[in-house]
Structure 1
Amino acid sequence: MIIIKNIDVYSPDYIGKKDIFISGGKINLIRDNIDINHEDIKVIDGSNKILTPGFIDQHVHITGGGGEGSFKTRAPEITLSKLTTSGITTVVGLLGTDGTTRSVENLVAKAKALKEEGISVYAHTGSYEYPTITLTGSVKKDIVFIEEIIGAKTAISDHRSSSMTNTQLAQLASDVRVAGMMSGKAGILVIHMGNGEKGLNPVFEVLKETEIPIKTMRPTHVNRRRELLEQGFEYAKMGGIIDLTCGIYDELSPKNVVKEAENKGVLSENITISSDGYGSWSKYDENGNLIKIGVSSVSSLYKEFKAMVNESEIAIDRALSYFTSNVAKALEIYPKKGCIAEGSDADMIIFNNDFCIDHVIANGRVMVEDGKVLVYGSYE
């Protein structure tokens, strides 16, 4: 049991200076003053600090990405403290280019491991390739019967994808949609967007030709180039949800894109931000030869939030929404996740006034205290 005293609370909307009582992994009470004294209750002094929901990173290669420059370029699996020290208390794992040396079985096992270590984890079946790789042999069965799996992943407009037809994209989106309805899950299709000239055109064409709801298909990396971003804005204005990736060069960084989106009349609730952590970034020459490769960090999520507030002077509550409530609503796990409210999971970050991470609490357990890791993963 924990009581956090006298702290400024953003839910992500600012709700004032409060005391918060945590027990059983949940937020039990939020009051102006909570006066409970017991030796088993841990008291955290929140004076001159800020409390927010924990970040939800919905695009992390938890089993490692890469592999596009031969076996030596396969990224390692992520470790627990890499996530918690970045303020991430909920993560969604997925595969990328490599669905051959990596598998959905491996992905689900890693998701279960991270859950055992203390954070909340979901996953998507599939990878860049089509036909979609699965665990059970069926996209529908993966979503319906595997607890952690809430959707699927595919890729379009990318030389590493399987060059799906519109019919195949529509069939996959339909399967994901129906499986979500059957299982009470989000049922979403995450679509990796590459640099191809077609951009989002296949998605627009599927929407025009079918009855698939627009929020079923979730394009990500839409800020990787200007033309794709403009299509992303159009998609969001139509009611779709677009995902921005951290680590993109400055002009198209999320902190700049969200301001531009507001000026263009794009609803902020239709935008989310993720890290693409532990996935590889790569550059190719005009002949398709790999010339440079690296690995993205989940810490880019926290760095982007801090830059939005400190550099772009975006209001704290608005900046927070892109990493918390917007994501939770998009994944259909709100208000269990993504907010500070009575009955919600006790997933939260305590920041110092300079927005350095002081504490991270996941499912009611203190993972980081005074900026130091308390709970490490099994092999850290």
Structure 2
Amino acid sequence: MLTLLKNARLHAPEPLGLCHLLICDTRIAVIVQAGEPLPASGAAVKTHDLCGRRVIPGLVDPLVHFIGGGGEGGFGTRTAELTLDEARASGVTTLVGALGTDALTRTPANLLGKARELAAGGLTTFCYTGSYQLPPVTLTGSVGSDILYIPEFIGVGEVAISDHRGSQPSAFELARLASEARTAGMLAGKSGIVFIHTGDAPGHLEPLREAARQSAIPLTQFHPTHINRTAELFADGLRFAREGGRIDFTTSTTPELLAAGEVAAHEAVARALEARIPPGAITLSSDANASLPQFDAAGRFVGLKAGRLASLFEVVGACIEHHAVPMEVAIGIASTHTAEALKLNCKGRLAVGNDADLLVLDDDNWRIDEVWALGHCLHRREDHKAG
């Protein structure tokens, strides 16, 4: 199947001007400047004129709780699963699912089944094996075999450090886990990333530094998230990035978390760039459908709200509109650099040979007109008419 998207103001994420994109089945086959001829083809081509609207890569979200999360306040506080309609409308076309605090009533098998449900709906989905605690829960009996034999499993996570809900892993345990995931990833052609939930305990990211010091594992094998959760953790995260690591900011938030000292994700991006952290060392994740719990000073559960997948796209817009972050930088942080960190080579960039995952944006506002994933339009804004 050939689909021609004409007159797209392309951000790949760097601006390429007015272009035509020819999509063959699920991938981008040709990109030419508007006015240049397309290669001849004997096949029928379905054409859409985008009339000069902005087109950006589909976003890549490295932390989504497909099957919900929560439960810190009992069974009545479990958060809901992600719905296909919500996912399709969000602007996120590649999602990585994880377990969290609850690896007892939620399992890797549940996670994999949900990943395949979302994939059947047109999205690209991956998973982490394991959860907050060590030893990790797995589907096949080990982290290594999950990554090696199950296509969707690309790493392990989200493993909790500096958090009272984690298993308080030692540096040695973290290094052993990272070694197993890294080796399996090399054998399978995957990242073998260790995605880390970072709590607000005083140790912050020190367990990861210690694991790297005690082993041959590089800091980049760990990908810590929630780095904007407190001012102190944010400062330590900038130091971690200067030392060669990557950091991830959480886009979902609540007024309570912000009042307690969380740095809003769009502000965190702007401040990190001002501190001369390379954009390639920064990623964003939504933490969608996870619980965003609130605890009092004694560690007692107070309440929670759920993360939102759409927050990723919203934060990219806020970076551009409120902090004058260049559009290609903000988009790259939520697509290109995440794909690079996870070794998803066909994702995060609009280029010939890559998957045809793209967002068509409104002419005047930071909102989505159309979501295309793997060459198919999955969502169109109700008050928007196709070209």
User: Residue 81 of structure 1 contacts residue 373 of structure 1 at CA under 8 Å; is this kept in 2?
Assistant: no
Residue 186 of structure 1 aligns to which amino acid in structure 2?
S
User: Residue 85 of structure 1 contacts residue 373 of structure 1 at CA under 8 Å; is this kept in 2?
Assistant: no
Alpha-carbon distance in structure 2 between the residues aligned to 1:372 and 1:175? 50
| 1:176 counterpart residue number | 181
| 2:366 counterpart residue number | 355
| 2:17 counterpart residue number | 16
Residue 295 of structure 1 aligns to which amino acid in structure 2?
A
User: Residue 21 of structure 2 contacts residue 31 of structure 2 at CA under 8 Å; is this kept in 1?
Assistant: yes
Of 75, 81, 86, 1:77 maps to: 81
Alpha-carbon distance in structure 1 between the residues aligned to 2:135 and 2:381? 48
User: Residue 70 of structure 2 contacts residue 102 of structure 2 at CA under 8 Å; is this kept in 1?
Assistant: yes
| 1:223 counterpart residue number | 228
Question: In the alignment, is residue 208 of structure 1 matched against residue 213 of structure 2?
Answer: yes
User: Residue 75 of structure 1 contacts residue 278 of structure 1 at CA under 8 Å; is this kept in 2?
Assistant: yes
Alpha-carbon distance in structure 2 between the residues aligned to 1:228 and 1:176? 26
| 1:4 counterpart residue number | 5
SS at match of 2:323: coil
What TM-score, normalized by structure 1, do the two folds share?
Answer: 0.94
CA-CA distance at 1:118 after TM superposition: 0.8
| 1:243 counterpart residue number | 248
Of 150, 168, 173, 1:146 maps to: 150
Q: Which moved more, 1:7-16 or 1:310-319?
A: 310-319
Identity %: 36
Of 234, 238, 243, 1:233 maps to: 238
What TM-score, normalized by structure 2, do the two folds share?
Answer: 0.92
| 1:342 counterpart residue number | 352
Going from structure 1 to structure 2, the CA distance change for 1:231 and 1:159 (only over 3 Å counts) comes to same
CA-CA distance at 1:370 after TM superposition: 4.0
Residue 41 of structure 1 aligns to which amino acid in structure 2?
V
Of 117, 126, 129, 2:133 maps to: 129
Residue 192 of structure 1 aligns to which amino acid in structure 2?
H
Q: Deviations over 1:120-168 (max 9, x none)?
A: 0010001111111111110111111111000001101101001112211
CA-CA distance at 1:28 after TM superposition: 0.9
Going from structure 1 to structure 2, the CA distance change for 1:373 and 1:205 (only over 3 Å counts) comes to farther
Question: In the alignment, is residue 270 of structure 1 matched against residue 307 of structure 2?
Answer: no
Alpha-carbon distance in structure 2 between the residues aligned to 1:213 and 1:351? 38
Residue 342 of structure 2 aligns to which amino acid in structure 1?
L
Q: Which moved more, 1:352-361 or 1:243-252?
A: 243-252
Of 269, 278, 291, 1:258 maps to: 269
CA RMSD, 1 decimal: 1.9
| 2:31 counterpart residue number | 30
Of 52, 57, 60, 2:56 maps to: 52
Unaligned runs of 5+ in 1: 375-380
Residue 101 of structure 2 aligns to which amino acid in structure 1?
T
Q: Which moved more, 1:240-249 or 1:184-193?
A: 240-249
CA-CA distance at 1:369 after TM superposition: 2.2
Alpha-carbon distance in structure 1 between the residues aligned to 2:361 and 2:42? 26
SS at match of 2:7: strand
User: Residue 48 of structure 1 contacts residue 352 of structure 1 at CA under 8 Å; is this kept in 2?
Assistant: no
SS at match of 1:21: strand
Corresponding pairs, count: 373
Of 105, 109, 112, 1:108 maps to: 112
Q: Deviations over 1:202-237 (max 9, x none)?
A: 111111111101110111101101111111111111
